[in-house]
Amino acid sequence: MESNTLNQMESETRSKDDHDAKAQLDLITADRQALARRVAQHPWWHTLASAAITAVIVAAPLSGSMWIVTLISVLAISASTALDKECEKRMGVSIMKPVGPKSLAVVIVLVTVEVALFGASVGIMFAELSGSIAVNSALAAVVMIVGLRMLSRTMAQEIRHGR
């Protein structure tokens, strides 16, 4: 008799623990979905401002002076950092920090392409073909817009599926 009662108590406890664990997992899943929706709603103003800042950096060699290029780059990178912090404050989540390997890959490709475009602009400056810098700058802005959209979608997907 006593062993039956003990078995029933263990069974009820196990059942309650299973129910509690499932409830906790459901809460985690709901939190992930909510966070993914926030990340996927990357603010349009952040995307456009980031693209404009990137275009300014890539166009800086139009000045013809490496001192001015350096000054513009430092100021623009500072503005970009402030922009990212403001966006993080408003959204309550950082949209510029990769959450998994796919979003990290997007960031690496995006930064590599933007640095290559800046390097090309500096090379064009020394070759004195300044008209091509404007095209390079416009291309950098487009790459930034597309890259940030890809990043927010990739991060949302990684959050939803646990990386």
Cα atoms found within 13 Å of the Cα of residue 56, Cβ hemisphere only: 18
Structural domains counted in the chain: 1
CA dist list (Å): 35 to 22, 86, 136, 163: 20, 18, 35, 13
How much is the pTM? 0.73
**In which domain, by residue range, is 39 found?**
2-160
From first to last of its 163 residues, what are the pLDDT tens digits of the chain?
A: 556 665 665 666 666 666 677 777 667 666 666 665 666 667 888 889 999 999 999 999 988 888 999 999 999 999 989 988 888 887 777 767 777 899 899 999 999 999 999 999 988 888 887 778 888 999 999 999 999 989 888 888 887 877 6
Would you state the torsion angle of the CA atoms of residues 44, 48, 54, 60, taken in this order, to the nearest 10 degrees? -160
Contact (CB, 8 A) for 159 and 99: yes
